[in-house]
Amino acid sequence: MKKQSIFGIGLFGGAVAAAAFLGGRFNPGPGTEARLWYREQRKSPLNPPDKVFAPVWLTLYTLVGVAGYRVWRAPRSSKRETALRLWVVQLALNTAWSPIFFGAKKPVISFVDLLALVAAQFAFVRSAKDVDRTAAALFAPYIAWVLFAGYLNAEIIRRNR
């Protein structure tokens, strides 16, 4: 494997691992204030059990990392650069959600973050499809999950006024 490929895999794998780590620092672990607050919230009946989130996010972060890597290894172009910038933006918005929702306990602001995240995801897909169609397609499950997360977030806002 070429050094450049190893670097790219490390770069994108490291970026999504850092996002998962930073977001995870605010997730409602056992005995935390965030757990107590989250358990008190009235939620949608469609809210999945806690054990579902880790494997789903592991899968999604893998797809996000692979998509970013595929775009990065494409020939240099303005479309590639735009797609890479959008990839970074969506990852930053993704990373911000847990500190806003669980850390600050601000469901309305976290919902706004999700709206911006979905817009960034779609912008990435539009841009990436001209660079690497597979990379663009890898975002489909991620977008679907974030839309579902938006519904769950909105239900917490609606049910806990």
Which two three-digit tokens encode residue 76?
Answer: 């240099």
**Homologous superfamily of the 3-159 domain (CATH):** TspO/MBR protein (1.20.1260.100)
Per-residue confidence (pLDDT) for residue 1, from 0 to 100: 61
Residues of the chain short of pLDDT 70, as ranges, are: 1
Tokens read off for 81 = 């650069």
pTM here is 0.94
103 neighbors 109 (Cβ within 8 angstroms): no
The domain limits of the chain are: 3-159
**DSSP-assigned states of every residue in 26-74:** TS--TT-HHHHHHHHS---TTPPPGGGHHHHHHHHHHHHHHHHHHHHTS
pLDDT tens per residue across span 104-121: 999 999 999 999 999 999
